[in-house]
Structure 1
């Protein structure tokens, strides 16, 4: 974008929602992301520890409304 230019939004929401509507993650997507990241960065961590961490993360995201079933 050139200096001083206005941002342009392309497209529209098909169901009438505003462009700023949040899209929630699925529980499966959160768990998969945790395991993929851990496999790369912490390959020696026990599966049980990863599972416990992913469950805590999913619960926190549920409370904030960022994850859906």
Structure 2
């Protein structure tokens, strides 16, 4: 079975999430609260340490008031 985890892509996603969050002057704590996910998870996503789920991506986009595709607009 092939390993489909792309570490580089996961890191780029996290960097983009952080960039968007900071452009909105939002703390990790506020994003975590608004998206109903643990603050530690927000940090791990932004650092590219975890491959997040699509449900979490949807919650993050809703909390940031952006479309899901905006979170993937880093290529």
More helix by share: 2
Report the TM-score range of the alignment, normalised by the length of the smaller protein.
0.3 to 0.5
- TM-score of the aligned structures, taking structure 1 as reference length: 0.33
Taking structure 2 as the reference length, what is the TM-score of the superposition?
0.31
Structure of greater Rg: 1
